[in-house]
Amino acid sequence: MNQFEFDRLIELYQKGLLDDRERKLVDDWLNDSSPGSDIEFGEEDQQRVKFKIRQELGQQVDLAPSVRRINQWRSYGIAASVLLVMAIGYFAWQYTADALYIHDASTVLQAHATVSGVKKVILADGTIVWLKDNSTLKYPDRFPEAGIRKVVLEGEALFEVAKDPGHPFVIEAGTFKTTVLGTSFHIKSGNERFEVTVFTGKVSLSTTQHHNAVVVLPNEKVVYQGEAQSLSKSAPSEREYLLKDTEYDMAFDDTPMADVMRRLERKFDVKVSMSDTHLGNCRITADFTDQSLDRTLSMAAQSMNFEYQVDGRQVILRGNGCD
C-alpha cells in the first residue's frame, strides 16, 4: 500500500464516498480500538484485522493461534494519526485483495513499470497490458471460472483484453471502473484527472460519484476533471504516443513471414520455428492488430497455406514455403 493509496482511501472515507459495506467495515474496526492504548500493529494484529474483515465478508479463514487485542492508546496526536493511517492502509490493501478475489483461490500479483519505461504483462486469460511511466497493476495469477475478470490499475496502461463475452473484464483505478468484454484501449489515471481512449470495441466507464455509466466507442476519448467534476468526450489526438514502445500495431504490408513471426515472438513471449526455412521468405499483407496469438496464427495459416502447432511457449509452422 503506497502513499497514494493511503491518501486516496482516507480522502474517500472522510468525504463519505465509500459504499455502505466498505464504510461499515472501516467503522467497525476503528470502533474496536479506543483512545488511550499502546500502539502495536504487528503480525498477530494484522491476522486479527484480516480475520475480522474476511469474517464480515463471509469467508472462512484460519485464525492465528494467539490473537491479541490492540492495547489501549497512551497518547493522542501523531501516534494516533500514524495508527489510523496504518490501519486504514492495511484494511484497504486486504479488502481490495479479498473483494477482488474472495471467491477465487488465486494469488494476487503485482507488476510495476519503471520511471519513463514500459512493462508488458500477459495475464492468465491472454490479455496483454502495457504498463507505462511508473504505473502499477494488481492482478490474479488466474481468473475465476465464473464471474468477472478484475484488475486494479494505478497510473497509465494500454490494454488488449482477450475476448470472452461470458467473463466481463473490469479495471478499477481509484474511484473509476472500466468494464469491457474484449477490446483495446488506453487508461491514464491520476489524483484529479482520468482518461480513457478506445481503439477497438467499446467500454463502459462509471465512477462512485456518477452512477450512470458512460459508453466510450472506438476513436473516442473521455476525460474526467476531478476539480470541476466534469466528464467530457473528444477525439483522441495522441494515438502514436499512446502506442509508443508497445507491440500493439500488428499491421503488415508485403512483409516477409520471418519478420512477422519475430514480431509475434516479442508480443506474445513465444518462440517460433519453421519446418522449412523457405516459409520465412513468403510475404504477407494483413492486419493482426488486437488479435490473440491463436487468431493471428489461424489468419496467417489460411492466407499462406501452412499448418501450425502451439505447445506451451513453442510455436511450430509447417509448410512448403516460398522461393
- Asked if residue 47 has pLDDT above 60, the reply is no
How many whole angstroms separate alpha carbon 30 and alpha carbon 87? 8
Average pLDDT, the chain: 75
**How confident is the model at residue 35, as a pLDDT?**
43
Q: Which CATH class is domain 251-318?
A: alpha beta
Between 236 and 154, the more confident residue is 154
Confidence of residue 75 (pLDDT cuts 50, 70, 90): very low
**How confident is the model at residue 233, as a pLDDT?**
85
Task: Using alpha carbons, select from 210, 238, 243, 239 the residue that is nearest to residue 224.
Answer: 210
- Asked if residue 292 has pLDDT above 60, the reply is yes
DSSP secondary structure letters along 134-147? EEEEEEESS--SSS
- Asked if residue 50 has pLDDT above 60, the reply is no
Confidence of residue 17 (pLDDT cuts 50, 70, 90): low
Between 98 and 70, the more confident residue is 98
Q: What single letter denotes the amino acid at residue 163? A: K
- Asked if residue 70 has pLDDT above 80, the reply is no
User: Per DSSP, which regions of the chain are E strands?
Assistant: 108-112, 118-122, 128-140, 149-160, 169-173, 176-180, 184-189, 193-200, 203-207, 214-216, 220-225, 230-234, 251-256, 271-274, 283-287, 307-311, 314-318
**How confident is the model at residue 190, as a pLDDT?**
82
Confidence of residue 212 (pLDDT cuts 50, 70, 90): confident
The model carries a pTM of: 0.65
Residue 56, all three cell numbers: 464480515
Q: What would the mean pLDDT of 116-134 be, rounded to a whole number?
A: 93
**How confident is the model at residue 85, as a pLDDT?**
41
**How confident is the model at residue 6, as a pLDDT?**
43
Least confident of 75-84, 186-195, 218-227, 288-297: 75-84
Is 251-318 in the same CATH topology as 108-242?
Answer: no
Q: What percent of the chain has pLDDT over 90?
A: 41
**How confident is the model at residue 320, as a pLDDT?**
81
State which fold the 108-242 domain adopts. Jelly Rolls (2.60.120)
Between 151 and 27, the more confident residue is 151
Between 94 and 267, the more confident residue is 267
Q: What would the mean pLDDT of 110-117 be, rounded to a whole number?
A: 89
Paired with 241 in beta bridges are none
**Residue ranges of domains in the chain:** 3-101, 108-242, 251-318
pLDDT in tens, 225-261: 776 567 788 888 778 788 888 999 999 999 999 999 9
